[in-house]
Amino acid sequence: MFRTMYQRTRILQCFPGLSLVLFLVLSLVACDVPIPQPEDTTPPNSQAPGGATTETEPSPGVPTATAMSGAATPPPPTLPDAAEEPAPVYTTIYGERLPDDAAPYHLQTYKVACDISRNQTIFDFAVSVYERICLEEGKLNDLFQDQLVTFDKDFNVIPASAERWEVSADGLTWTFFLRPGLVWSDGTPLTAYDWEATYRMIANPDYKWDFGWFYSGVLKNWDAVMGRTLPPEELGVRAVDDLTLEFTTETPQPAFPSMMQNSYVLQKKALETYGPNYNSRVETSVSSGPFLLTVYEPLVRIEMVANPTYQGYRKPRLQRLIGEYRDMDTAFLAFRNHEIDYISHLFLLPEDYEVIEQDPILKDNYLQHYGEFRTDYLFFDTYNPPFNDVRVRKAFAHAIDRETIVRDVFGEIRAMPAYGMLMPGFPGSDTTGTMRPYQQYDCEQAKGYLADAGYPGGAGFPALTMLQRNEPETLTAVYRATAASIQQCLGVPIEVATKDYTVFMDWLNATPTQIPFGVVSYGMDYLDPSNLLGVWVSTGRHAWRNETYDALVREANSLTGDPQRRLEMFRQAEQILVDDVGGIFLTHRWSGDLIPPYLVGDGFRQPDAQGTAGWHWGNDWAIGSIYVSKDVENYATYRDKLR
């Protein structure tokens, strides 16, 4: 269905002008000559493929009538091989050859839908993590710079802007050596001083960076700078020279190279001249990454082109990126009409999955994967009633029928029930179900906990508002089903309310928290338990404190030389988190990318070490492998106007 509506019919042509005998011989063979390329101005029928002039006289080796009348049977005719027309060669702006099956370079575009309901205006991680443009809809963010390191498709740390790194004998100082020759698009060299300026900015409490907890307890003096007891110049980040950047940590951090996957950089000169939002204006935008901003009409359209000065590790094969804002409820239809090239699982409705399941082309091009090992969970202000009572938290945990919610609301193709923070398959995760009893659905047990806390049958329990940030319809349905499950089991009135994304994150990160009861999700920033469990330490983003948990996580963070013991300490910490109900864990998400068959590239088409393909989180280099194959010519797409 998907293909037949738009697939074009190839025109088959036969070689004209051959003699009658030759024509009869050739007519026994199927004849398939490609349509000439648009740039080929040769008149039809004037040349055979490859430029050979068409013969009008009998070809050599074809027997004459006299020879055919003799007693002896002549040998079979020997026909000259027609010269094959060489495949056209297309190159990028870097002079690099596109794969043989690539479409012409002017068709190398990638277009996505951006959610018009989210008023996002930021392109850069160092400016805002949660307000980046087209963050989940199409991966148009963080393309104006490279980090120090990145991950390959198997989550191994590989060089990016840094060509190598080393750690001191005491494990406290990490030195990164930048690749020589990296430049910004205005000709300014990319140097370690750009990173130094960026880190001093995000550590400044006046800036209120929305990801500040990430370096808490990690970078030397980070907490002191954030607490205004030291100036940003005392932060443990220092440019030794143009190509050498030094980080000092509070304790040994074995996972520090993985953390540097988030070391996106801003240009020092632009930062000082225009402020941190300089990339949100075309006239002030400057890039050391693979793309340049050429069009930005907020909530209307974004366009980027390949950066000709880029010297990094992910030189793009794509010529242009386009983002068009729309109601995401229409995104699946737009995808099926070939108006866009990508749609995330987050914006697919249950009925969309039914269509995908029935269409072999859609099904083959829906790539399911672990993504970022994202977990949805409830959180509380445990410093104030009613959630300062662990019995109330346990009651809520046992009142949620996760199995039914996943099966009937979320869909098993998109999620699995969660009973802890770490999704099975993540390092240190509970793969044996040891933690399941702490929060599994048991309505009678839930009622008992609530009665013990002084609220039998829900009597006297205060009315609650469960706050969520503005999310896709599918997630909102899951969160509402969660609230309904609690209410049905415990008789506790719960209203689900939505807050603007920015306001929600500001309230969540505030001290003290401004959200007594809420629901949110979190996915990994690097492949180590210290990341996902670090969210729950008392200096993290949630109003829950457990000193034993804090001690275990922090000790495991800095433990070197015994990886098995380190993982066991993280498992102990997660068990405390689940048993003390610092949060209630709902679902682990399967991620998925729906892409057209003509969008190809090793970065997401080839399975990873876990056997799953997809454009998953951390696979930043994939943007350099993507290209549009010539199969695009079989479809009516938005590119037709570019032909």
Share of the chain above pLDDT 90, in %: 71
Confidence band of 82 (pLDDT split at 50, 70, 90): low
Tell me how far apart the alpha carbons of residues 464 and 451 are, in angstroms, rounded to a whole number.
Answer: 18
Q: Identify the pLDDT of residue 204.
A: 96
User: Which uninterrupted H or E stretch holds 227?
Assistant: none
pLDDT at 22 over 50: no
Confidence band of 607 (pLDDT split at 50, 70, 90): confident
Tell me how far apart the alpha carbons of residues 495 and 480 are, in angstroms, rounded to a whole number.
Answer: 9
pLDDT in tens, 161-174: 999 999 999 999 99
Q: Which residues of 87-123 are buried (b: 16+ CB within 10 A; e: fewer)?
A: eeebebeeeeebeeebbbbebbbbbbbbbebbebbbb
Nearest to 79 by CA among 67, 62, 57: 62
Q: Identify the pLDDT of residue 35.
A: 34
Tell me how far apart the alpha carbons of residues 485 and 483 are, in angstroms, rounded to a whole number.
Answer: 5
Confidence band of 69 (pLDDT split at 50, 70, 90): very low
Mean pLDDT, rounded, for 355-360: 95
Q: In what order do the strands lie in the sheet with 415-417?
A: 415-417, 583-589, 375-380, 517-522, 464-469, 494-499
Largest CA distance in the chain: 114
Question: Residue 548, Cβ neighbours under 10 Å: how many?
Answer: 11
Is residue 85 classed as helix, strand or coil in its secondary structure?
A: coil
Q: Identify the pLDDT of residue 84.
A: 63
Confidence band of 322 (pLDDT split at 50, 70, 90): very high
What's the mean pLDDT when you consider all of the chain? 86
Q: Is the pTM of this model over 0.85?
A: no
Domains delineated in the chain: 14-86 (no CATH), 105-111+289-369+598-609+617-642 (3.40.190), 145-279 (3.90.76.10), 375-589 (3.10.105.10)
Tell me how far apart the alpha carbons of residues 607 and 357 are, in angstroms, rounded to a whole number.
Answer: 21
Mean pLDDT, rounded, for 517-545: 93
Tell me how far apart the alpha carbons of residues 428 and 106 are, in angstroms, rounded to a whole number.
Answer: 47
pLDDT at 230 over 70: yes
Q: Identify the pLDDT of residue 76.
A: 53
Q: Identify the pLDDT of residue 79.
A: 52
Taking phi first (over 0 means left), then psi (-120 to 50 degrees means alpha), and beta for anything else, what does residue 494 get?
Answer: beta
Q: Identify the pLDDT of residue 33.
A: 34
pLDDT in tens, 434-467: 999 999 999 999 999 999 999 999 999 999 999 9
Tell me how far apart the alpha carbons of residues 110 and 112 are, in angstroms, rounded to a whole number.
Answer: 7
Q: Identify the pLDDT of residue 620.
A: 77
φ/ψ of 340, rounded to 5, equals -135, 165
| The token pair that represents 209 in the structure block | 């960076």
- Whether the CB-CB separation of 236 and 249 falls below 8 Å is answered with yes
Q: Identify the pLDDT of residue 78.
A: 54
Strands (E) in 433-529, as ranges, are 464-469, 494-499, 517-522
